[in-house]
Amino acid sequence: MGVEIERKFLVRGNAWRGQIARSIAIDQGYLGGERCSVRVRLQDEVAMLNIKSREAGAQRLEFEYPLPVTDALELLERLSGPRVTKTRHHVVIDGDVFEIDEFAGANTGLVVAEIELDAVDAVFPHPAWLGREVTDEVRFYNLRLAETPFSDWLDRDTLIKEIAC
């Protein structure tokens, strides 16, 4: 059984951009499920099928399997529901990797940092650009962003001001 431990944070300002080690374009669509999200992700020339439990919090079940790119393209085109597009930037601080997702399309303006940890209470760096933690706020999960994009949020303007600092 796979378990993912991940913390999510809003990203403030643009200071992190000077620390980018690499960036990856991501297109992902969801195939449905009440108790889990089933996602097809096309990341550059790599395709993955991902199944993740839907409960909120830092720790969730996660299973991931490679998928032929041609199958992923067909699944995204013909079977996926809402989609999320983003650029994932990798920023390394003191050996820890922050994945900073800069969303596009209906989620433009939202920038979220994630860090995968070995334990829920693991110590990790907190650079100045790391904003408020949103790990337990399900609306920041990619599946929810596909269903209810950032452009539809009533507090969107307030959040944009919060992350612009």
Q: Point out the residues that are catalytic.
A: 30
Separation between Cα atoms, residue 93 and residue 90, nearest integer Å: 10
Q: Which two tokens stand for residue 62?
A: 């996660």
Burial 20-56 (b: 16+ CB within 10 A, else e): eeeeeebbbbbeeeeebbbbbbbeeeebebbbbbeee
Paired sense of beta strands 20-30 and 83-93, if any: antiparallel
Of 83, 82, 37, nearest to 63 by C-alpha is 37
- Helix locations, the chain, DSSP H: 69-78, 142-147, 156-164
Residue 60: C-alpha distances to residues 28, 117, 118, 147 (Å): 19, 12, 13, 20
